Structure 1
Amino acid sequence: MDLILWRHAEAEEMAASDLARQLTTRGRKQAQNVAKWLRARLPDDALILASPATRTIQTVETLTDQYRVVRELAPNASVDDVLKAVGWPGGVAPTVVVVGHQPVLGEIAAQLLSSGHDQRSWALKKGALVWIASRDRNGNGQAVLHAAITPDLA
């Protein structure tokens, strides 16, 4: 399974509610840059899941209109909520993209890639993504970093 963790791009600070916060002009450009990079590499059968927050939906829509909103990915989701939603490590699909929030995306990356040694959260820049692949090596499951990209490098 390939798991792509994509943090929503820059959003406005204030709105009627946290879920209603929209992308800023800069955030739309960030999302477009990363979407262009990802589109060139993403398999056609990838399953794309987004938090119900407006800013994540606006981020994912720069990539595609073929996505599912999953309430378990909302702000304040837990690592277990997200990993259960994607079916890690076997996967609900061969490639799953999660468009979500900090700190949980950084917590997932730290947990999967640290092999249990250092599970502090990683800071993911707004609009950045981390691509993690699961594999079996000598009968042991492993998570391997496939790519990490920020909007300014996309």
Structure 2
Amino acid sequence: MELILWRHAEAEDGYPDDERALTSTGLEQAKKMAAWLKARMPKETRILVSPAKRAQQTASALDLPFTTLHELAPSASPHDLLKVANWDTSKGAVLIVGHQPTLGMAAAIAMTHKTHYWCVKKGAVWWIASRIRAEEEQAIIRAVISPDML
């Protein structure tokens, strides 16, 4: 399985939290990362997105259909995220556009089977794959890239 975690790009401060929009910098970050992803993502990638406005705007930069899931809202747990992704139980690829600290914690669980508070920078992508080798489950880091590297 390919698990692609994309943190929403830079957003405005404000309240209510779910209505915070991307800044002009955030819109540019999303555009750059979307171009990078579209050139590399498998064609059948499922795209799952938080209902928060900033995540919706980030995902919209891909100009591809996506599914909005309440289970990916800012209050989501890393276990909820991995469950909706079907991590380790399915084939194919899934891209999740969401929030910290959930994304970093989900990456840690996927890689180490332990909860750690890893930080995913705003607008960044962490791409993790799973495979079985010699009857052993392995997690592979395929890419970690932030928008300032593009």
TM-score by length of 1: 0.93
Q: Distance in 1 between matches of 2:106 and 2:49?
A: 16
Structure 2 counterpart SS, 1:5? strand
Moved more, 69-78 or 82-91: 82-91
Structure 2 counterpart SS, 1:90? coil
Q: Distance in 1 between matches of 2:62 and 2:8?
A: 12
Q: How many residue pairs end up in the alignment? A: 150
Q: For residues 49-88 of structure 1, what are the alpha-carbon distances to aligned partners after superposition, in whole Å with 9 as ceiling and x for unaligned?
A: 0000000000000012300001100001011111111111
Q: Which residue in 1 is equivalent to 2:67?
A: 68
* Identical-pair percentage: 47
Q: Which residue in 2 is equivalent to 1:137?
A: 133
- Moved segments of 4+, more than 4 Å: none
* RMSD (Å), alpha carbons: 1.2
Measured after TM superposition, the shift of residue 121 of structure 1 is 1.3
Measured after TM superposition, the shift of residue 24 of structure 1 is 0.3
Q: Which residue in 1 is equivalent to 2:82?
A: 83
Q: Distance in 2 between matches of 1:18 and 1:96?
A: 25
Q: Distance in 1 between matches of 2:113 and 2:71?
A: 24
TM-score by length of 2: 0.95
Q: Which residue in 1 is equivalent to 2:28?
A: 29
Q: Which residue in 1 is equivalent to 2:146?
A: 150
Q: For residues 93-129 of structure 1, what are the alpha-carbon distances to aligned partners after superposition, in whole Å with 9 as ceiling and x for unaligned?
A: 600000000001000111222354xx42111110001
Q: Which residue identity does 1:3 align to in structure 2? A: L
Larger % of helix: which?
2
Q: Which runs of 5+ in 1 are unaligned?
A: none
Q: Distance in 1 between matches of 2:13 and 2:142?
A: 32
